[in-house]
Amino acid sequence: MSAVGDPVRIGIGGPVGSGKTRMIERLLPLLHEAGLSVAVVTNDLVTREDAERIAAGGLIAPDRVVGVETGACPHTAIREDPSVNLAAVARLERDHGPLDLVIIESGGDNLAATFSADLVDWWIFVIDVAGGDDVPRKRGLGVTQADLLVVNKIDLAPYVGADLALMRRDVAAARGGRPAIFSDLGTDESPRAILDELFRAVLFDRAPAAALIAPAGQPGP
Amino acid sequence: MLLARRILGDAGEPRFAGKRVERLPVDAASAVRRRLRGRTDAGTDVAVDLERGAYLRHGAVLSDEGDFIVAVERTAEDALVVRLTAASCAARVAAAARIAHAFGNQHVPVEVGPDELRVPITTSREVAMATVAHEAADGVEVSVEPVRLGCTEPLIRSMHAH
């Protein structure tokens, strides 16, 4: 375990409407099922819409969700000056600790948004097929640098004319071997795949035995 | 899975002499992480869980298994290298200020050496080169070279307060 009072912190970033909040809603029951103590921090520009949605969803105790209003470019609060988010994490740990995991959702931002290593230990960038099948080819920092890239809403591809095969090729080229998951959060498989990667890459010492698998693309221990 | 919770020392220390060294490859972006997972060059599955603020410098020993140690191998990666070669000190300072301003505006981390600025390529070689294209002239040499960025200490990052 990490030091007491110092939970693992993960970030979830990506453009507005890509499915970040929905992903949290799908992961929370699985994380609870795995026995983890979890809290959530959401970042919005001038509202607490995402925090209120998660808190009202019945998936987590409402007082384990904190909404941060950044009042400026949302990426400033996750990269250059994460102090407001660190304060929120400290408050959650004080009130509900020891926590295993704090999920920090970025306010919807552009493709250049990245998380500071001062704030999170690992981060996901979420894009979606309805945002355009050329997004992976644009190679924003989120697409190239995130620990896990999730290309969401693949079920919508036929309806928005997105070329999934093209997106898979572009993602492979942009990621240089780093993990990427094409997801439909309406299924059970996609949230499980994201959870498995979370346990493999960063929650390795808190994983159920079945999830203690080898680094991506390599044989097991 | 071998779990490393602290940096034990440096692979060059006498107490580690004679032990086989397994190297865990770590790039510049991952060197500031406190938790990561990977495989050594010998195939050992290593999970790292350090105190916050730790830095994975080249040669940092993560585990001593008796007959072998696991040490951080900082990998070389393509970086934009800007060398200031003007004879005049004032000209070098002026060029350095213009170039640092351009990269600061992109919020990319940099490494500063004597008369040299090294910048990781976070987008593409073309975009990085374009940032300083107007500076490439007498007294400023720009190239892309494999570099162990931040080999011993973290890169410098700019603030972005708006």
Contacts of A111 in chain B (CB under 8 A): none
A201 CB within 8 Å of a chain B CB: yes
Burial of B70 from C-beta contacts in 10 A (0-12 / 13-18 / 19+): buried
B144 CB within 8 Å of a chain A CB: no
Q: In the predicted model, what is the mean pLDDT of chain B?
A: 89
Q: What value does the mean pLDDT take over residues A163-186?
A: 95
Cα–Cα distance for residue pair B116/A172, rounded to 1 Å? 33
* Cβ–Cβ < 8 Å for A193, A183: yes
DSSP assignment letter at B90: H
Q: What value does the mean pLDDT take over residues A21-33?
A: 95
Three-state secondary structure string covering chain A: CCCCCCCEEEEEECCCCCCHHHHHHHHHHHHHHCCCCEEEEEEECCCCHHHHHHHHCCCCCHHHEEEEECCCCHHHHCCCCCHHHHHHHHHHHHHHCCCCEEEEECCCCCCCCCCCCCCCCEEEEEEEHHHCCCHHHHCCHHHHHCCEEEEECHHHHHHHCCCHHHHHHHHHHHHCCCCEEECCCCCCHHHHHHHHHHHHHCCCCCCCHHHCCCCCCCCCC
pLDDT digits (tens, 9 = 90+) for A81-101: 788 889 999 999 999 999 999
**Both structure tokens of B132:** 């300083």
Please judge whether B37 and A139 are an interchain contact, meaning their C-beta atoms are less than 8 angstroms apart. Answer: no
Asked if the peptide bond before residue A98 counts as cis, ω within 30 degrees of 0, the response is yes
Q: What value does the mean pLDDT take over residues B128-141?
A: 77
Assign B68 to helix, strand or coil. Answer: strand
**Residues making up chain B, counted from first to last:** 162
Of A72, A81, A204, the CB nearest to B47: A204
Cβ neighbours around A219 below 10 Å, total:
9
A214 CB within 8 Å of a chain B CB: yes
pLDDT digits (tens, 9 = 90+) for B41-67: 999 999 999 998 899 999 999 999 999
Of B29, B34, B158, the CB nearest to A121: B34
B1 CB within 8 Å of a chain A CB: yes
A145 CB within 8 Å of a chain B CB: yes
**Does the pLDDT at position A112 exceed 90?**
no
Of B1, B38, B160, the CB nearest to A221: B1
Phi, psi at A170, each rounded to 5°: -65, -40
Token pair 């900082």 is at which residue? Answer: B74
Strand ranges (DSSP E) for chain B? 2-4, 9-10, 20-26, 35-39, 45-49, 60-64, 68-74, 77-84, 111-113, 116-120, 140-147
Q: Give the pLDDT of residue B156.
A: 78
Cβ neighbours around B125 below 10 Å, total:
11
Q: Give the pLDDT of residue B38.
A: 95
* Least confident residue range of A41-50, B9-18, B80-89: A41-50
What Cα–Cα distance (Å) separates residue B9 from each residue in B19, B60, B72? 14, 6, 11
Q: What value does the mean pLDDT take over residues B29-49?
A: 95
Percentage above 90 pLDDT, chain A: 59
Q: Give the pLDDT of residue A206.
A: 86
* Least confident residue range of A115-119, B3-7, B119-123: B119-123
With CA atoms as reference, the chain B residue closest to A78 would be B160
**Does the pLDDT at position A103 exceed 70?**
yes
Q: What is the ipTM of this complex?
A: 0.80
What pTM value is reported for the model? 0.85
Interacting residues of B114 by C-beta distance below 8 A, sequence separation 6+ = none
Q: What value does the mean pLDDT take over residues A119-138?
A: 92
Confidence band, pLDDT 50/70/90 cuts, at residue A5: low
Q: Give the pLDDT of residue B122.
A: 75
Q: What value does the mean pLDDT take over residues B90-107?
A: 84
Contacts of B27 in chain A (CB under 8 A): none
A3 CB within 8 Å of a chain B CB: yes
* Cβ–Cβ < 8 Å for A38, A30: no
Q: Give the pLDDT of residue A3.
A: 46
